[in-house]
């Protein structure tokens, strides 16, 4: 991959250019701006400096690039200059206004600033401006690139909101050579921990969604890699933030990967109903069966692990679940639902290990029927290929939702937003696919403390 190596944006200055920042006349005391990157706590003590548009950043990782330093200030306003002290693991960032610098310092007093998953320390500098060689062409090129990347006139909060997602949407232009999951992981992991990747083709273009462990890593990767070529003169990266804040990965194969869950199947065929799936069924029961009532407890039978006892909060809910779910298909098998002679599901005695076969869902946050008179009582329908979605964030698009649901293993046949865009209908190709999508995505975190609500619909699109 000759096109991308360690991306170095910025200027490496010689020792003569740094001399003004390393002598006693610079106004930088050894226990404030000039504190070295050592382990001696005395040397790390800082003095409070008054607000300044120049920010002093300490404890940088050895391999940190100027692009990554710039990314820390990018959401807060225009960056007008940068100076790195490589030998001391420090940098100075000059913001366009003192107000932008104050907002940045206040923000990072509450949110830990990270570069390459390592905490850095941010404070005001004693300097009111950075005096560097303004004629240096590379420095000017960096600052122009940064200015171009920012939206003119955007308010700070709007910019922060735009970069709050840890998920990047990546489009590959001029894809002369194939680009694999492993190639993407190798490139982007230089900027933080890559957790999940989903690849797909849309409008005859190869695209990917890539989730970092934190939004700052995503922002740094976007700043450094947007517009770069993976290979010489081809495979150009076009990068933006996704409206999704969390990716739903079901299979680890050549199209999708969850690096936090290596045990996921490859998804080559329908799984048989075995003990592993039975335990998964136990975990998921509050979402499938929870459509028809509030699941209290689930017990997989020890000697017959393809069977389970499921206790609902009321007997009429058990009747509803039986009438609507008996004969439906799940995990490639037909579900058989009958009423049990048992009145309750007993929890295991204290100290008895039942291998996780019994689960208590009494305090589950997914219960739909806790509130008397809830609208959920009016929207109980048999499983259907069409699902009703609600609690959709305003900035989430149809494409985002189509991709989210298609990644549950099914095919989205149709989609329709309601007028206020807070609700929608989505149609899968089969009822079984809709059941699986409901299990996977009900209560899905859409960001901003909003969780997607999914139920079966009586309508069609």
Residue 16 has pLDDT above 60, yes or no: no
Q: Cα 194 to chain center, whole Å?
A: 10
pLDDT at 377 over 80: no
268-271-274 Cα angle (round to 5): 150
Label residue 258 by pLDDT band (50, 70, 90).
very high
And the tokens for 205?
Answer: 């273009």
**Residue 272, pLDDT score:** 37
- Assign 41 a pLDDT band (cuts: 50, 70, 90): very low
Instruction: From residue 85, give the alpha-carbon distance in Å to each of 22, 182, 441.
Output: 10, 34, 48
Residue 281, pLDDT above cutoff 80:
no
pLDDT of residue 332: 81
Distances (CA, A) of 144 to 131, 329, 347, 391: 18, 58, 65, 40
Mean pLDDT of 262-283: 53
Q: What is the pLDDT of residue 158?
A: 42
Give the separation between CA 197 and CA 184, rounded to whole angstroms.
8
First to last CA, the chain: 46
Using pLDDT thresholds of 50, 70 and 90, give the confidence band for residue 33: very low
- The residue-averaged pLDDT of 355-359 equals 83
* 6 has a pLDDT exceeding 60: no
Task: Centre a 10 Å sphere on the Cβ of residue 355 and count the other Cβ atoms it contains.
Answer: 11
Mean pLDDT of the chain: 78
Please say if the pLDDT value at position 219 is more than 70: yes
CA–CA dist 202, 256 (Å, integer)? 15
Mean pLDDT of 398-423: 92
Q: Are 330 and 435 in contact (CB under 8 A)?
A: yes
Structure token pair of residue 286? 């509050």
Average pLDDT over residues 138-160: 49
Place of tokens 């170095």: 8
pTM: 0.56
Please tell me which residue, 59 or 114, carries the higher pLDDT value: 59
Q: What is the pLDDT of residue 236?
A: 94
Q: Which residue did the predictor score with more confidence, 53 or 316?
A: 53
Q: 439 pLDDT exceeds 70? A: yes
Mean pLDDT of 297-325: 86
Distances, alpha carbon 55 to alpha carbons 73, 86, 98, 99, 420, in Å: 9, 16, 10, 12, 43
What's the rounded mean pLDDT across residues 59-87?
A: 84
């Amino acid at each position: 991959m000759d096109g991308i190596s360690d991306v170095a944006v910025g200027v490496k200055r010689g020792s003569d250019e740094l001399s003004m920042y390393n002598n006693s006349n610079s106004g930088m005391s050894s226990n404030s701006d000039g504190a070295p990157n050592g382990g001696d706590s005395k040397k790390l003590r800082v003095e409070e400096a008054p607000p300044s548009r120049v920010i002093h950043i300490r404890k940088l990782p050895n391999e940190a690039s100027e692009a990554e330093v710039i990314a820390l200030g990018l959401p807060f306003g225009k960056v007008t200059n940068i100076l790195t002290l490589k030998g001391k693991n420090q940098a100075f960032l000059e913001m366009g206004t003192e107000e932008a610098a104050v907002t940045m310092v206040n923000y990072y007093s509450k949110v830990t600033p990270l570069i390459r998953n390592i905490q850095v320390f941010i404070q005001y500098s004693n300097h009111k401006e950075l005096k560097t060689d303004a004629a240096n062409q590379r420095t000017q090129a960096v600052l122009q690139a940064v200015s171009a990347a920012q939206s003119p006139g955007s308010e700070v909060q709007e910019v922060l909101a735009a970069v709050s997602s840890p998920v990047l949407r990546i489009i590959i232009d001029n894809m002369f050579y194939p680009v694999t999951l492993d190639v993407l992981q190798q490139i982007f992991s230089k900027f933080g921990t890559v957790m999940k990747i989903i690849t797909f083709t849309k409008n005859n273009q190869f695209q990917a969604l890539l989730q970092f462990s934190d939004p700052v890593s995503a922002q740094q990767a976007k700043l450094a890699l947007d517009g770069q070529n993976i290979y010489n003169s081809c495979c150009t990266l076009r990068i933006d933030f996704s409206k999704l804040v969390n990716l739903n990965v079901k299979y680890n194969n050549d199209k999708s990967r969850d690096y936090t869950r290596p045990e996921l199947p490859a998804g080559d065929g329908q799984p048989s109903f075995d003990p592993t799936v039975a335990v998964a069924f136990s975990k998921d029961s509050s979402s499938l069966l929870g459509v028809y009532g509030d699941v209290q407890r689930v017990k997989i039978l020890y000697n017959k692990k393809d069977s389970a006892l499921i206790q609902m909060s009321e007997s009429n809910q058990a009747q509803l679940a039986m009438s609507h779910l008996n004969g439906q298909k799940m995990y490639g098998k037909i579900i058989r639902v009958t009423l049990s002679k048992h009145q309750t599901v007993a929890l295991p005695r204290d100290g008895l290990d039942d291998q996780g076969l019994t689960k208590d869902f009494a305090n589950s946050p997914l219960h739909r029927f806790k509130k008397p008179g809830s609208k959920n009582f009016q929207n109980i329908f048999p499983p259907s290929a069409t699902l009703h979605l609600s609690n959709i964030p305003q900035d989430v698009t149809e494409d985002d939702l189509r991709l989210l649901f298609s990644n549950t293993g099914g095919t989205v046949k149709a989609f329709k937003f309601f007028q206020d865009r807070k609700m929608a209908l989505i149609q899968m190709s089969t009822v079984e696919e809709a059941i699986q999508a409901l299990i996977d995505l009900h209560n899905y975190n859409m960001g901003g403390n909003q969780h997607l609500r999914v139920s079966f619909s009586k309508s069609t699109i």
